[in-house]
Amino acid sequence: MGTTDNGAAFPRRKALGLAGAAGAAALLGGSGQAAATPGTAATPGSAGPDAASSASAAPGSPAAGTAATPATPLPIAPSGAWCWFGGPRAVHHRGRWRRTYLGYITDSGAITVAQYDHANARLSQTVLAEGFEIDDHNNPAIHVLPDGRLEVYWTAHARNIPLYYRRSTLPEDITGGWEPARTITTNTEGQYGWTYTNIAQLTAEQNRKYLFWRGADFNPAFSTTDGDDRWTEARSLIQVPGQRPYVKMCTNGRDTIHFAFTDGHPRNVHTSIYYMYYRAGHLHRANGTRIGPLGTPVSPAQADKVYDATGRPKSWIWEIATDRRGRPVLVYANFPADTDHQYRYARWDGHRWHDHWITAAGGSISADGKEPNYSGGISLDHTDPSKVLLSRQVPGGRHEVERWRTPNGGHTWTSEPVTRGSTELNVRPFKPVGLPGDGPMSVLWMAGEYPSYVGYRTRIMALGDTL
Q: Which residues contact 294 (CB under 8 A, 6 or more apart)?
A: 222, 237, 278, 281, 282, 283
Q: What b/e string do you get for 149-188 counting C-beta neighbours within 10 Å, with b at 16 or more?
A: bbbbbbbbbbeebebbbbbbeebbbbbeebeeeeebebbb
Q: Which residues contact 415 (CB under 8 A, 6 or more apart)?
A: 31, 32, 34, 59, 60, 62, 359, 402, 403, 404, 405
pLDDT digits (tens, 9 = 90+) for 177-200: 999 999 999 999 999 999 999 999
Question: For the residues of 367-435, what is the DSSP string, one character each?
Answer: TTSS-TT--S-EEE-TT-TTEEEEEEE-TTS-EEEEEEE-SSTTSS-EEEESS-S-SSEEEEEE--BT-
Q: What is the mean pLDDT of residues 81-96?
A: 98
pLDDT digits (tens, 9 = 90+) for 353-373: 999 999 999 999 999 999 999
Whether omega before 88 lies within 30 degrees of 0, making that bond cis, reads yes
Say if residue 431's pLDDT is above 60: yes
Say if residue 18's pLDDT is above 90: no
Q: What is the mean pLDDT of residues 204-219?
A: 98
Structure confidence at residue 13 as a pLDDT band (50, 70, 90): very low
Instruction: Quote the DSSP letter at residue 8.
Output: G
Contact in structure between 350 and 334 (CB atoms under 8 Å)? no
d(Cα 374, Cα 83) in Å, to the nearest integer?
Answer: 10
Say if residue 60's pLDDT is above 50: no
Q: What is the mean pLDDT of residues 117-141?
A: 97
d(Cα 259, Cα 5) in Å, to the nearest integer?
Answer: 37
Say if residue 4's pLDDT is above 80: no
pLDDT digits (tens, 9 = 90+) for 445-460: 999 999 999 999 999 9
Report the pLDDT value the prediction gives residue 22, as an integer from 0 to 100.
30
Contact in structure between 194 and 159 (CB atoms under 8 Å)? yes
d(Cα 116, Cα 107) in Å, to the nearest integer?
Answer: 22
Q: What is the mean pLDDT of the chain?
A: 87
Q: Which residue has the higher pLDDT, 186 or 13?
A: 186
pLDDT digits (tens, 9 = 90+) for 323-337: 999 999 999 999 999
Evaluate the CA torsion angle 181, 185, 187, 193 in order and state its sign: positive
- In angstroms, how far is CA 422 from the centroid of its own chain? 23
* Phi, psi of 448, rounded to the nearest 5 degrees: 145, -140
The amino acid at 95: G
Contact in structure between 315 and 324 (CB atoms under 8 Å)? no
Structure confidence at residue 464 as a pLDDT band (50, 70, 90): low
Say if residue 122's pLDDT is above 50: yes
Question: For the residues of 58-88, what is the DSSP string, one character each?
Answer: PPPPPPTTPPP-B---BEEESS-B--SSSB-
Say if residue 43's pLDDT is above 80: no
Q: CA torsion, points 112, 116, 121, 125, in degrees to nearest 10?
A: -20
Query: Residues of the chain with pLDDT > 70: what percent?
Result: 83
Instruction: List the beta strands (DSSP E) in 215-352.
Output: 220-225, 235-236, 247-251, 256-262, 273-279, 282-284, 290-293, 304-307, 314-322, 328-337, 340-348
Structure confidence at residue 466 as a pLDDT band (50, 70, 90): very low
Q: What is the mean pLDDT of residues 140-161?
A: 97
Instruction: Quote the DSSP letter at residue 180.
Output: P
Say if residue 50's pLDDT is above 70: no
Q: What is the mean pLDDT of residues 5-22?
A: 35
Q: Which residues contact 311 (CB under 8 A, 6 or more apart)?
A: none
d(Cα 415, Cα 431) in Å, to the nearest integer?
Answer: 16
Structure confidence at residue 226 as a pLDDT band (50, 70, 90): confident
pLDDT digits (tens, 9 = 90+) for 245-277: 999 999 999 999 999 999 999 999 999 999 999
Q: Which residue has the higher pLDDT, 19 or 218?
A: 218
- Other beta carbons within 10 angstroms of residue 422's beta carbon come to 21
Entry pTM: 0.87
Structure confidence at residue 463 as a pLDDT band (50, 70, 90): confident
Pairing mode of beta strands 32-33, 414-417: antiparallel
